[in-house]
Amino acid sequence: MEKFITVLQDIKTLFNRSLSELSIDCVVFGFHDEQLKVLLLRAKGSDSWMLPGGWILKTEHLEDAAYRILKERTGLGSIFLQQFHTFGANNRYNGREIMARLGLPPEQNFFPERAVSVGYYALVEYSLVEPQTDMMTDECRWWDVNEIPELLFDHNEIASRALKALRKQFDHEALGFNLLPEKFTLVELQRVYETILGLKKGGLDRGNFQKKILGYGFLERLDERKTGGAHKSPYLYRIDPAKYGAYLRENE
């Protein structure tokens, strides 16, 4: 119980240094086992899950706050991050409910009546992430995007809207490699596309996919090949940063 009081003090201290009516929620996407994953946190002393999120320091740029929050949860400093929507339903959040979920007395609630939340989604390399809990949570781990449980507040809506935004952006921009290691094969990239677009394995034609991707002109084929697997060993590719920069400038 004493520990709880300390935590409560820590939360209050952070909260007092932050904007009170605004928060950030992040939908962190990773790719593993040919599945799209989302990072979720379990609220302290409860079995309710939620998205990673946090507050914005009073002097902090909104986007900096999002990067900071993501660094705290994933350990990663360099991340593909995209603001996609701001959620402002007047009943989306409830300070007393947070207190209760944290096992704290609701009548001592110091959160505001209401908070609006800015939604970001992030694409990260799964294997580099070291999920870390925060003051308000006991557990942080990946969930399959198709098996997301019921989340606190409006977090299910935020997550599904993030996925929708991700799919839309995938249709118009080349982003898939943000979910992969530095070096990857084209078939690995194809799996990412198929998964995100909701297709089954092989749903995209191999030949056409490779032509399209290589047609962008910013992938560099390495002399290395991926070994270890059975059958013909595929080439490894990586992004050529200069050419990718040029591509982005042309398409923006």
Binding site for its own copies (CB under 8 A): 19-22, 56, 58-63, 65, 83, 85-90, 113-114, 116, 118, 172
Considering beta carbons, is residue 64 or 205 the nearer one to DNA? 205
- Structure tokens belonging to residue 71: 């660094």
CA dist 251 → 28, 120, 173, 214 (Å) = 25, 22, 8, 16
> Rounded distance, CA 39 to CA 129, Å?
10
CB nearer to its own copies: pick between 50 and 118 = 118
Euclidean distance between CA atoms 207 and 212, whole angstroms = 9
Residue that the structure tokens 């991707």 belong to: 213
Part in contact with DNA (CB under 7 A); list of ranges 10-18, 60-68, 142-150, 208-216: 208-216
- Put residue 217 in one of left, alpha, beta given phi > 0 → left and psi -120 to 50 → alpha: left
Q: How far is the CB of 232 from its own copies (least distance, A)?
A: 39
Instruction: Name the minimum Å distance from CB 252 to its own copies.
Output: 9
Q: Whose CA is closest to 154, among 73, 28, 51?
A: 51
Q: How far is the CB of 115 from its own copies (least distance, A)?
A: 9
Q: How far is the CB of 199 from DNA (least distance, A)?
A: 11
* Residue 4 lies near DNA (rule: CB under 7 A): no
8 vs 165, which CB is nearer to its own copies?
165
113: helix, strand or coil: coil
- In whole angstroms, the minimum distance from the beta carbon of 99 to DNA comes to 51
Q: Which of 208, 249, 250, 252 binds DNA (CB under 7 A)?
A: 208
Check residue 186 for interaction with DNA (CB under 7 A): yes
Look up residue 243 and give its two tokens.
């050419």
| Pairwise CA distance, residues 242 & 151, whole Å | 41
SS3 82: strand
Partner from DNA, its own copies, none binding residue 88, C-beta < 5-8 Å depending on class: its own copies
Please report whether residue 219 would count as binding DNA according to CB under 7 A: no
Interface pick for DNA out of 33, 227, 249, 250 (rule CB under 7 A): 227
Q: Are 11 and 135 in contact (CB under 8 A)?
A: yes
Instruction: With beta carbons less than 8 A apart as the criterion, state whether 87 and 48 touch.
Output: no
For residue 209, the minimal CB distance to DNA (Å) is 8
Give the interface with DNA as residue ranges (CB under 7 A): 185-187, 205-208, 210-212, 215, 225, 227-235
